[in-house]
Amino acid sequence: MQLAFPRNAAPRIMKLSIKHVSSLLGAVTLGLFLRNLHGSFEALHPSTGRSSSEAPKGRRRPGGKVTFSGVLNRGNLQASENCSVPAAGRSHWRQVEPKDLEIIRSKPSGPWGAAITNCEMRGEAMVFRLDLRKATKAGGQAYEIPFPHYIVADEGGSWRETRSTLQLFTVGESGWFHPMGPAHSRHDDISSKGNGAYSHWRHALTSGPSGASHIRFSTPRNVELGDLHGVAVVVFPMAPPMGWIEFAGGKKVTHEEIFREMFLQTFATVGASTPHLIEEAAETRAGTRYLWRIGGNGEFSLPLKDGELYEKRMPYQIAEWYSEFEKQGGILFPPPESYKYYQNKVGLARLFQETKVKTPKTWVFSSFAEAESAQGSIDFPVIIKDPYGFSSLGLLQAADVDEFLKNVKRYFEDALAGVEAIVQSKVIALREARVTYIDGRPFHAYWRIRQSLTSASAASNLGGYQDFNFPLNEIAPYVEEFARITGIPVGGVDFMWQEAEPDVKSTPFTLEVSPTSDLNPPAPASWSSTYAEFKYTPGFRTEYLAVRRQWTDLMALAVIDRYRQERKHLFVDIDNVVSLSMDRMRRLKGKKEAYSAVEVMKDQAVPGAAEALEKLGSHFFIRFLTARGSYEDPFNVTQTWLRMNGFTGLFDDLIVVDGPESKVAHMSSETLLVDDFTLGHETEKPFQNTKFMEKLRKAELPFVVFPLGGSWDDVMPELLRQAGTSDDQGG
């Protein structure tokens, strides 16, 4: 069976009542109609059914761009390969070199790319179809299949253990989705018990750039994998409005434009397919999360006042210029304030002193005379640095007073007027570590090994070697603390230990940190020459860009992580809380027909539910959590019912589980559930599911009981209290 609707069908369909639609169509036809209807609606506004020129009002959030064609044929999706197409930058912005742009825009070559047959948008949900031939046995009842790392996945050891919004559904021959679960299951339970349990997980960020994401799953009733018609993945991105800030006034040095193009690719994959691209603070949209990256060497350049020096003024100009976007309500990541320390070792020396970061003993001199007068207080050997330099350029050393006076004099003779000298005690060690971190979490690091103990630096341009066998997990606690106390959440930091075989769990010397550090891909294990030579080998550029793309993906995920922690998560049941489903159950006496798409679409909304959720959306993430395992095509039917009853844009997530017990997997002590907790709706006297309520109490999972047949006014005071506000405060 095949149904296709013309692009202008949605306005005409919207004029039909739910009752009229369901009376015209049989159950199977209605299921196809519902899924086609999503495609027709999206021809208007991605999430509201309005024309794209109409702005959404209130809390109702616009969805992402939809590429679903609106044609289904027995569940085979005729859709674009990607969920959304990356946005394009403004035509006058600096352009990436064609060869680099081709690499950046190339299709993924990793295993997860082959494991996905296609992806479409259904409302605000990303729907992936898996190629089950790519799944491998993972012990017992468990299978595993790779999945894109840019989709937020569970990560062990913290609140991130249940952060994934991914849902798995088996797909029947008719194209209906049936929920699997429980989600977030332990891997040993998936293996030993199976029966549809699954987990969407990723290697810890500290596993490095090679870390990957996977779906570990079992089949319903533990049937053979080949017996399944298909498996679909549904992900609600739960991403904030995102954007990019371009500084268009500098010269091209192939940094900003590369990261912009990478972020444009990343935005599309995390569900923010229409990022707000701007270059002036006046264009800022309040509440939008803006990413940005800029460098020196003329890439960022603003007029200077008389007597100002570019190298000294630039870090502060960057911080000031981008902070103007924050004043307009933009939320920038990384925070502009951290850029005061970009190529600014004088500022860093002060910061490290104020925050008590362990560093080699450091002096800042403004002139040769000042350095000469302090010669007796200096502990040799020392390194003499340009405080506004980079890549270890211009480093000088001094082993004693005579060499110090000679080299510091030479330094000031060559330096621009007004530039200080940084003098730092030399830590005698053959290796130092460069650790790149995002939001205080290290994900990339390597040892930089000096040619000899007499070398001023381990930088590759000074003949240094790199060893990427670095224990990221062991340095992670200190990096988190370092980012917290310095207020620099994103950066590349250089650490050093005096021991020949350092214990990286011990507090290191910190040499410097930069908010825009470069990332280097590892050389092959067989590589025996210097890393500087490796940079000129075939294939290096592809790897160089690939590790930077991983950085942009993780930056976006950090923004999403931060966003999802801003408000409490409110899980909302649908039956008898949002939908008057008890009327249907009583009318049809709980028979199979009561769960059909035709009948479910006749349900009326609970009066005041949409208005209540719009109000609560200012204080909570609204996540529908409904047990509809007995329903016909429950996800698609429920999503369409919500859309046709005025709930579009009022919720962040729609989770469909097989039964009430599977709701527990999504909850935590920090979330809140509002549910009617009743059973027996087909009878004259429904009763409370006290067993389930007691289970939640024992697990210390908070909930609020919605009175059966009651109204949202009955629970709003308690919900607002739980949100930390009250109705008097404007809720």
Instruction: Tell me what the mean pLDDT of segment 672-684 comes to.
Output: 95
For residue 61, the model assigns a pLDDT of: 47
pLDDT tens for residues 436-479?
Answer: 999 999 999 999 887 655 555 555 555 567 889 999 999 999 99
Instruction: Tell me what the mean pLDDT of segment 688-693 comes to.
Output: 95
For residue 450, the model assigns a pLDDT of: 73
Sequence-separated (6 or more) residues with CB below 8 Å from residue 306: none
Which CA distances in Å does 306 have to 146, 302, 310, 347? 58, 13, 11, 22
pLDDT tens for residues 93-113?
Answer: 999 999 999 999 987 666 667
Higher pLDDT, residue 687 or 34: 687
Instruction: Tell me what the mean pLDDT of segment 231-244 comes to.
Output: 97
Instruction: Tell me what the mean pLDDT of segment 40-48 comes to.
Output: 36
Neighbours of 78 (CB within 10 A): 15
Instruction: Tell me what the mean pLDDT of segment 3-19 comes to.
Output: 42
HSE, CB side, 13 Å, CA atoms: give it for residue 428: 6
Residue spans of beta strands (DSSP E) within 515-613 = 568-572
| Residue 20 confidence (pLDDT) above 60 | no
| Residue 57 confidence (pLDDT) above 60 | no
Hey, what amino acid is at 463?
Answer: G
Hey, what amino acid is at 156?
Answer: G
For residue 523, the model assigns a pLDDT of: 86
| Residue 578 confidence (pLDDT) above 80 | yes
The pLDDT confidence band at residue 114, using thresholds 50, 70 and 90, is confident
| Residue 608 confidence (pLDDT) above 60 | yes
673: β partners: 571, 703
Place of tokens 């739910």: 18
Segment 46-54 long-range contacts (CB within 8 Å, at least 24 positions apart): 46/121, 46/124, 46/274, 47/123, 47/124, 47/648, 47/649, 48/648, 48/649, 49/10, 49/14, 49/643, 49/648
For residue 705, the model assigns a pLDDT of: 98
Distance CA 266, CA 555 (A): 9
| Residue 38 confidence (pLDDT) above 80 | no
Distance CA 341, CA 353 (A): 14
pLDDT tens for residues 633-658?
Answer: 999 999 999 999 999 999 999 999 99
The pLDDT confidence band at residue 725, using thresholds 50, 70 and 90, is confident
List the domains of the chain with CATH numbers: 98-235 (no CATH), 567-723 (3.40.50.1000)
pLDDT tens for residues 261-277?
Answer: 999 999 998 988 899 99
| Residue 659 confidence (pLDDT) above 80 | yes
For residue 81, the model assigns a pLDDT of: 41
For residue 731, the model assigns a pLDDT of: 38
pLDDT tens for residues 172-219?
Answer: 988 999 999 999 999 999 999 999 999 999 988 888 877 789 999 999
pLDDT tens for residues 516-559?
Answer: 877 889 888 888 888 888 889 998 999 999 999 999 999 999 99
